[in-house]
Structure 1
Amino acid sequence: MESFFSTFLQEAITFFAIMDPIGISAIALSILSSNITKSEINKVAYKTTLTIIIAFFVVLIAGEFVLKIFGLDINSLKVMGGLVLLLMAISMINGNNSLVSNKDRKPNEELAIIPIAIPIVFGTGLFSTIIIFKHEAKDFIDLISISLAYCINAIIFYFILKNSIYIKKFLGVTGQNIITKLMGLIVGALAIQFIISGIVALTKGYLA
């Protein structure tokens, strides 16, 4: 039981850091209409959260199958996924995000699925992390841990995005930037672990 909670906590923190709900909520607000109402943002939060939950289970169930179709090694994905996470972490720490200025004239509810849910929230970083976590899972209990950790973060994301207007006023730009930079450090550390783990495994495989 102690091992379960330890693994669950690690997965939950990892998902939270990659999702960066407070930082993403600021990006979402920059894409949505400046005069968006509370009712509209509630709908956007609901649609976005539902989309990322569906995407999670699709990747959890079919992700490794896709890798097999293309003949890709999970350790290669670890290295590539780690590099993607590392670039994401550097961007978070530097405070750079090209998606912030991506103004779109579509209705707010349409923007909830693309680009907010995919690829802003559920991008290559989450995709790689989910597949790696699943590959490392030893039994069904581990899969429950991964699913629970992700779904709890999805719910947290929902409430943060739903109340993002108030959170932005409370934290201000400086507060949001500080949190995003801290999450960037965690994502960066995770990226290094993925890269080293993947390289070591690939090296052993080629030398064997």
Structure 2
Amino acid sequence: MTLELAVTAFATLFVIIDPIGLAPLFVALTQGMSPRRRRFVALRASAVGFGLLVLFGLFGEAVLGVVGISMPAFRISGGLLLFLIAVEMLFEKRTHRREQAVEIKPDPSIFPLATPLIAGPGAMATIVLLMGQNSGDLPAQMMIFGVVLLVVLTALGLFMMGGLIERVLGQTGINVITRLLGMLLAALAVQFVLDGISDLGLFGMGG
């Protein structure tokens, strides 16, 4: 079960944060910067993004409780949100929207890299869902944070190699990988919705 949780958490967060898709955007945002400056931006963006996801993982469910949103309802809405993101990935809308929204700034580490590109709504919804599914299980929750760190470190590594990756994969390679990740995310999103329906006890699926 522990290994299954780790694999599920990694797969979900990986396709949501999409480090491979972010690499070309990082290159564009840091174009003209010295290698040292580019490394600083990569490190700062990754650290802030990770911190935001951890904070949301720790307190996100409590915030939901204050505003009266149940975990099953959030799980269903989160699954629907992830499914929309998957559809955008499959039809290239997500990358196009990201590129249009990105403005090149002197220091893009906080915005738009840390948020919303790393710690965006999809990633925040995912970590709340995963933490809620393992409420009270401290080892499992620590593992989730470890997986978050691993995914963010993967993004950091790809940021460091952004220029090389862009040259090796090319636009066609990036498009193919994005579509494959979109298909996987769609299946995971449907599972989130089914889990939420099951928790609500609808359609005879509840215990």
With structure 2 as the length reference, what TM-score do the two structures score? 0.90
Q: Which amino acid is 2:76 matched to? A: V
Q: Which amino acid is 1:8 matched to? A: A
1:72 aligns to 2:63 (yes or no): no
Aligned residue in 1 for 2:23 = 25
CA-to-aligned-CA distance 1:119-169 (integer Å, 9 cap, x gap):
122111111111111111151111121011111111111010111111101
Q: Which amino acid is 2:8 matched to? A: Q
On the 8 A contact 1:81/1:124 being kept in 2, the answer is no
Runs of 4+ more than 4 Å apart: none
1:37 aligns to 2:26 (yes or no): no
| CA apart distance, 1:33 | 4.7
SS in 1 for 2:98: coil
Q: 1:172 to 1:60 in 2, by over 3 A?
A: same
Aligned residue in 1 for 2:194 = 196
1:119 aligns to 2:116 (yes or no): yes
Q: Distance in 2 between matches of 1:42 and 1:63?
A: 30
Across the aligned residues of Structure 1 and Structure 2, the Cα RMSD in angstroms comes to 2.0
Q: 1:105 to 1:143 in 2, by over 3 A?
A: closer
CA-to-aligned-CA distance 1:83-105 (integer Å, 9 cap, x gap):
11111111111112312123524
| CA apart distance, 1:5 | 2.0
Q: Distance in 2 between matches of 1:15 and 1:103?
A: 22
Describe how 1:82-161 pairs up with structure 2 within 5 A: 82-97=79-94, 98-107=97-106, 109=107, 111-137=108-134, 138-161=136-159
Q: Distance in 2 between matches of 1:60 and 1:82?
A: 17
Q: Distance in 2 between matches of 1:156 and 1:105?
A: 23
| CA apart distance, 1:191 | 0.7
Of the structure 1 ranges 115-124 and 157-166, higher mean CA displacement relative to structure 2 is found in: 115-124
Q: 1:28 to 1:174 in 2, by over 3 A?
A: same
On the 8 A contact 1:86/1:192 being kept in 2, the answer is yes
SS in 2 for 1:106: coil
Q: How many residues align?
A: 202
Aligned residue in 2 for 1:11 = 9
On the 8 A contact 2:57/2:128 being kept in 1, the answer is yes
Q: Which amino acid is 2:122 matched to? A: G
| CA apart distance, 1:6 | 2.4
| CA apart distance, 1:185 | 1.0
On the 8 A contact 2:9/2:144 being kept in 1, the answer is yes
Identity level (%): 26
Task: Point out where structure 2 has 5 or more consecutive residues left out of the alignment.
Answer: none
Aligned residue in 2 for 1:163 = 161
On the 8 A contact 1:79/1:199 being kept in 2, the answer is yes
